[in-house]
Structure 1
Amino acid sequence: MQRSAFPRRELLKGVGLGALAAAGAACGAPGGDFRTDDEKIVIGFVSPRSGALASFASGDDFVVERVRRTAPYAKGFTVGGRRYAVEIVVKDSVSDPRLAAQAARELVTHHKADMILTSSAPETTNPVASVCESQGIPCVATVVPWEAWYFSRQADPDNPRPFTYTTMFFLGVDQFGGCFVPMWERIPTNKVVAAMFPDDPDGNAFRRAWPPILEKAGYTWVDGGAYRDGRDFTRMIAKFRRERCEIFINAPLTPDFNRMWRQAAADGFRPRLATVAKVLLFPSDTLPLAGLVDNIATDSWWGPYMPNTSSLDGESAKSLAEAYQSASGRQWLQTLGSVYSLFEIAYEAFSKVDSPRDRKAVAARLRTLNYSGMSGVLDFSRGPVPGVAVQQPVGVQWKRGVGRFPYEMMVVDNSLNPAVPIGAELAPTNP
């Protein structure tokens, strides 16, 4: 097993954004071919459609409806020589960990879910996965660092045991390092890095994960200090200025970053390159800061620039993004591809077993799945730990848009994913 840079006992221990508001729709073949529950596969989906992390799920409705129209979902899955209608039941995680777990339990007991899919931050994915593991329900999660999903759910993080029913795909700490450090190397700096990490599970985990990466790359670490949400950042900013930090990293809540970044600009802390995590992942995050987001860099795991296509109907990543923009009037967002792939994975797993009711067989198929789809190649059989598939992100910067949207995410570094074309020159955040 590959060891993570995260010390295991300090890993993210988020619990979830709950979900109670449910919406389900059956997707049967034309002509009413499916009549009984025994002829139906139920797939539950839990994500933060409202509450603090609602921006992660703002495209979920669009993706679910688009998936429902693909041939496998509209006509039904063929499993073991039989055709089954497919019903997708959606639960909103309302940004409450307890409700995330409760939503998963409702999907199991009331809706009789054959598989549960979940997305967007450990606050949602971890409690949902834990319920599924305890109830013996196949589950796939995404948009959560794999270390946070895997180790924080262990009874003993120092002696982890593979899960039987729960799997996931996304990035890990090695991918964050492999995405950010190459961008740092291309901007002349004094190699002193300012770190803004809160006193919460995310912040404490990243605070312990980054120093080994920085040391190996020849950078000096300046910790701004663990802070509580909503505080004044005067002392932190003063420390960054005093230590002459020219690179900036973080993993805060969006309101805290917005407050800190405005204050930093006013107080004269202007790092040469800002590389942020957890914030500025979506277009809506850029609006409150306006010009202060110019050339801030982050990671991108999916976008219209990815050379990926759907395994359900061959649609390209670019087409999916454009269709979302046309239908919603809003800018594309990264979670479109992630959520789409959850439903690809469900189809792949069910279509390779003899019965959708054989949960152990479905779960075993998930753990060995290796396919290419909307999120590129996902190989669960060769992950850093059993049942985990890792994506390779690219480095992007927010740059002023030339069309209908004020800011666009542009690819500036493809060190981890050379198949993605460079779209713009990497530029200092502050010249």
Structure 2
Amino acid sequence: MGKAKGDLTRLRNRRRGPIWAAVAGVSALGLALSGCTVGGSSAAGDDHQLVIGFVSTQTGANAAFGQANTFVVDQIRTYLKAHPLVVDGEKYDVKIVVRDAQSDSTRAGDVAAELINSDNADVIVASSTPDIVDPVSEQCEANQIPCITTVAPWQPFAIRSGDKPADLKYSYHFFWGLEDVSAVYADIWKQVANNGKAGGLFPNDPDGQAWGANFPALTKTSGVTIKNPGLYPDGTKDFSAQVSAFKGTDVLVGVPIPPDFTTFWRQAKQQGYHPKVATIGKALLFPSSVDSLGKIANNLSTEVWWTPTAPYTSSLTGQSAKQLADAWEAKTHQQWTQPLGYAEALFEVAIAAVKKSGSTNPEDLVRTLAHLDVHTIVGEVHWGADPNVPPYIAKTPIAGGQWRLTKGGKYPFDLVVVENKLAPEVPLGGKPEPLSRDE
């Protein structure tokens, strides 16, 4: 067993006091989601307790990334109530404390600090774009608390200034990289006849900066040249300049936030821009974004990092990918969404790290994470397995898909897997098809 929880709490309080005095006045009132536990591991008599702090994205421009988080947290709580966590023969009470980052980088860092300082979290988990996971990681590094993050390409997570990866000690991230998503997109382009010219729709945020800087070189061998008219600010309402610059290109590539792509695509159609293939990250991950566009979304392409057809199973609950998606749809009456699998995987990894280390001690946990190998509901997560990425990065599978209008289906669109070279275990559902000028 690791160090007793009371000793660990005292150690943390001595370390944190002078560092985070500036956030001491932040109130917990109203920040926790319904049903979240406040307080944490310092409660009397709770020596065998694991507190997991979850920085979620429930509201704001990227709320779609956190749409499934409450469902997953409720499901994990229910599962652990029936199947208590046992570490080295000792039963642990698992508390999950959730804070909403509101799609804001500053707030993400603030609530991470609150989870560490006020709630005495043993480990922090977070997901959904570099805007959220990077500031959470920074707080965990400063406070020497283990951090597990996902749903952001590894480059903007690891490379935050200059061109070299950061020297992270307590942060462990699992997801794919720009080299992977660019290969998926390039393969889709090759299967749709085009003129070798692409428009680059890249926002001025960490994702847009990374994609805009790296995609031209990463996709060079595809024969497609990307024209980037410059980074635009999130929340842009008039994309006339981009539409004008993109006319004459058969390919569209970009990584806008969901509401911005909705605005752009409607204006593109109105102003006569009709690419033959569009591969869009971030914005097209979610059924809600596609449904809002109606039939003009037919055959829009995006990356597929999780799907119910994938042959993966939760190492924690035993659910298959399809069973998890079915449970979500039965509970919410909404179509499955890709972040659902990764929200589940965060807790799989966190609990696996505690069980393998036999401790909630931060140093024990990070030593375990450095070589942890877990077969999760999103595929294998194995740190230290790939010499081409920083040691705190574990790469996960990625495929490519197109949104297809259904004919009398349960939902208006289905996300059909059309490319799987980097994830051959994920079955294809069709081949890439060109966009229609009539839609």
What TM-score, normalized to structure 1? 0.88
Structure 2 matches for 1:214-253, cutoff 5 A? 214-228=219-233, 229-241=235-247, 244-253=248-257
Q: CA shift at 1:35, angstroms?
A: 7.5
Q: CA shift at 1:263, angstroms?
A: 1.7
Q: CA shift at 1:161, angstroms?
A: 4.4
**What CA deviation, in whole Å up to 9, does each residue of 1:188-207 have, x standing for no partner?**
11111111123343323211
Q: Does 1:197 align with 2:217?
A: no
Mapped to 2, the partners of 1:148 and 1:389 lie a distance apart of 14
Q: Does 1:52 align with 2:61?
A: yes
Mapped to 1, the partners of 2:239 and 2:333 lie a distance apart of 36
Q: Does 1:170 align with 2:175?
A: yes
**What CA deviation, in whole Å up to 9, does each residue of 1:379-411 have, x standing for no partner?**
111241111111121110011134221111111
Q: Match of 2:285, SS?
A: coil
**Amino acid paired to 2:31:** A
**Amino acid paired to 2:138:** S
Q: Does 1:280 align with 2:284?
A: yes
Q: Does 1:365 align with 2:368?
A: yes
Mapped to 2, the partners of 1:271 and 1:324 lie a distance apart of 35
Mapped to 1, the partners of 2:331 and 2:89 lie a distance apart of 37
Match of 2:73 among 64, 80, 86: 64
Mapped to 2, the partners of 1:141 and 1:282 lie a distance apart of 20
Which residue of structure 2 lines up, in the alignment, with residue 30 of structure 1? none
- The structure showing larger relative contact order (alpha-carbon pairs under 8 Å, at least 6 residues apart) is 1
**What CA deviation, in whole Å up to 9, does each residue of 1:196-254 have, x standing for no partner?**
1233433232111111123222222222333334253323222322xx21111011232
Q: CA shift at 1:359, angstroms?
A: 0.8
Q: Is the 8 A contact 2:313 2:319 kept in 1?
A: yes
Q: CA shift at 1:25, angstroms?
A: 4.9
Q: Is the 8 A contact 1:80 1:353 kept in 2?
A: no
Q: CA shift at 1:159, angstroms?
A: 4.3
Match of 1:379 among 364, 368, 382: 382
Mapped to 2, the partners of 1:98 and 1:193 lie a distance apart of 34
Match of 2:268 among 264, 271, 276: 264
Q: Does 1:354 align with 2:358?
A: yes
Mapped to 2, the partners of 1:75 and 1:54 lie a distance apart of 31
Q: Match of 2:384, SS?
A: helix
Mapped to 2, the partners of 1:207 and 1:399 lie a distance apart of 27
Which residue of structure 2 lines up, in the alignment, with residue 112 of structure 1? 120
Mapped to 2, the partners of 1:142 and 1:210 lie a distance apart of 21
Residues 377 and 201 (structure 1), Cα distance of their counterparts in 2 relative to 1, 3 Å cut: closer
Q: Does 1:330 align with 2:334?
A: yes
Residues 235 and 179 (structure 1), Cα distance of their counterparts in 2 relative to 1, 3 Å cut: same
- Which moves more between the two structures, 156-165 or 142-151? 156-165
Q: CA shift at 1:286, angstroms?
A: 1.1
Which residue of structure 2 lines up, in the alignment, with residue 6 of structure 1? none
**Amino acid paired to 1:382:** A
Mapped to 2, the partners of 1:309 and 1:201 lie a distance apart of 32
Q: Match of 1:430, SS?
A: coil
Match of 1:211 among 216, 227, 242: 216
Which residue of structure 1 lines up, in the alignment, with residue 411 of structure 2? 405
Mapped to 1, the partners of 2:309 and 2:85 lie a distance apart of 30
Q: Match of 2:284, SS?
A: coil
Q: CA shift at 1:319, angstroms?
A: 0.5
**What CA deviation, in whole Å up to 9, does each residue of 1:250-292 have, x standing for no partner?**
1123233222211211222111111101211101111221111
Q: Match of 1:398, SS?
A: strand
Mapped to 2, the partners of 1:335 and 1:217 lie a distance apart of 29
**Amino acid paired to 1:21:** L
Match of 1:339 among 331, 343, 357: 343
Q: CA shift at 1:37, angstroms?
A: 2.3
Match of 1:43 among 28, 52, 66: 52
Residues 363 and 297 (structure 1), Cα distance of their counterparts in 2 relative to 1, 3 Å cut: same
5+ residue gaps, structure 1: 1-18, 27-33
Mapped to 2, the partners of 1:182 and 1:65 lie a distance apart of 39
Match of 1:180 among 180, 185, 201: 185
Which residue of structure 2 lines up, in the alignment, with residue 14 of structure 1? none
Q: CA shift at 1:74, angstroms?
A: 4.1
Q: Match of 1:352, SS?
A: helix
**Amino acid paired to 1:295:** N
**Amino acid paired to 1:260:** F
Q: Match of 1:43, SS?
A: strand
Residues 406 and 159 (structure 1), Cα distance of their counterparts in 2 relative to 1, 3 Å cut: closer
Q: Is the 8 A contact 2:49 2:93 kept in 1?
A: yes
CA RMSD of aligned residues (A): 1.9
Structure 2 matches for 1:416-427, cutoff 5 A? 416-427=422-433
Which residue of structure 2 lines up, in the alignment, with residue 102 of structure 1? 110
Q: CA shift at 1:85, angstroms?
A: 1.1
**Amino acid paired to 1:52:** A
Mapped to 2, the partners of 1:265 and 1:338 lie a distance apart of 33
Percent sequence identity over matched residues?
35
Q: Is the 8 A contact 1:145 1:170 kept in 2?
A: yes
Q: CA shift at 1:105, angstroms?
A: 1.3
Structure 2 matches for 1:128-167, cutoff 5 A? 128-152=136-160, 157-167=162-172
Mapped to 2, the partners of 1:160 and 1:396 lie a distance apart of 30
Match of 1:313 among 293, 317, 325: 317
**What CA deviation, in whole Å up to 9, does each residue of 1:113-152 have, x standing for no partner?**
1111111111211111111111111110011111111111
